[in-house]
Amino acid sequence: MDYKCFENLNDTEMANLLKLLKWKARHNDCDLDYVQIAKYLNVDNRIAEEYIQYLHRKHYIKKWFDIKCPSCGHYTRTDETELKKGINCSYVDCDQTLDVQNLKYKYEIFYKINDEKVLGKKGGEQTVTQFKIREDNSYMAEEGSIKVFMSYSHEDEKYKEKLDKHLAVLKRNKKIKTWNDRKLVPGKDIDKEIGKSLVEADIIILLLSADFFASEYCYCTEMTKALELYEEGQNMIVPVIVRSCDWLGSPLAKLVALPKDGKAINKWEDEDEAYMDVVAGIKKVIEEIGE
């Protein structure tokens, strides 16, 4: 393949590539492939592959190998630098020397971001940005669609499903895009996917009940991280009380909850009215984000 046209990218192309690399590196997600580049930079796969080769030649990314040992079948992972030095099988009971000069063994190639160059790290210094900065990752957002993360206890799944249905008009009008853990793809890392969706969210809806506060994952992982993001000014939190609970004794007490007056959804005579009250509140949040 001829890469001459990519010996020097223009400033805009390079800036967009670096935005993607920095965002991923700061979130400890250093794996990179052409599909990610094609998706986030809105280019076709062929161009994305050439971007990969360009970034590799300029040392922004490194080539890694998974090499199968012919003796024990174990895969040993190494980068291109160590590969040149010669390596042994990493399985503790094998230690077979792998002749990698011609790579006769079965192997897989992938790329990782060189965070030392991308983030300017030196030695053992760590540079990690825990949360997104809107101006730095605007290229990742879908135009005209606010991302809504829904956190709930699975005991309250019926409330989550009903609220999602009441948000259908906003979704069809492309005002919002909702996400919850039922949208996880089989085979994906659960914690990684939930964490990624959480930090990318513009609005985080917390469906509150005694089960929500009793859930270690809802309380200590999702709610705690949501509040940290909120303090950084990276999102809007909407507490929605689905069943009576001691939410005023929680860190969420400082926030305005829905439905109005903090009356739990299951206490309304007409639950549809309760959900419509919640939707009206969410619309106000959307308007505030738009402004």
Question: Which parts of the chain fold into alpha helices (H)?
Answer: 11-26, 34-41, 45-57, 80-85, 115-118, 157-166, 168-172, 190-200, 210-214, 216, 224-231, 271-290
* DSSP SS3 for 51: helix
Q: What distance, in Å, lies between the first and last C-alpha atoms of the chain?
A: 47
The CATH label, of 3.40.50.10140, 2.60.40.1930, 3.30.1330.10, 1.20.1440.80, for the domain at 136-290 is: 3.40.50.10140
Q: According to the model, what pLDDT value does residue 24 have?
A: 77
Q: Are 86 and 73 in contact (CB under 8 A)?
A: no
Largest separation between any pair of C-alpha atoms in the chain: 74
* Predicted TM-score (pTM) of this structure: 0.52
Q: Are 131 and 159 in contact (CB under 8 A)?
A: no
The number of beta carbons lying within 10 Å of the beta carbon of residue 138 is: 11
Token pair of 65 as six digits: 């190998």
DSSP of 199-268: HH-SEEEEEESHHHHH-HIIIIIIIHHHHHHHHTTS-EEEEEESS---GGGSGGGGSPPBSGGG--GGGS
Q: What is the mean pLDDT of each run of 10 residues along the chain (291 residues)?
A: 51 82 77 81 81 88 82 79 76 72 65 86 40 37 71 90 93 86 60 78 93 89 86 87 94 91 92 95 86 61
Phi, psi of 212 (to 5 degrees): -60, -50
Q: According to the model, what pLDDT value does residue 187 have?
A: 55
Q: Are 203 and 282 in contact (CB under 8 A)?
A: yes
The segment(s) of the chain belonging to CATH 3.40.50.10140 are 136-290
Q: Are 139 and 100 in contact (CB under 8 A)?
A: no
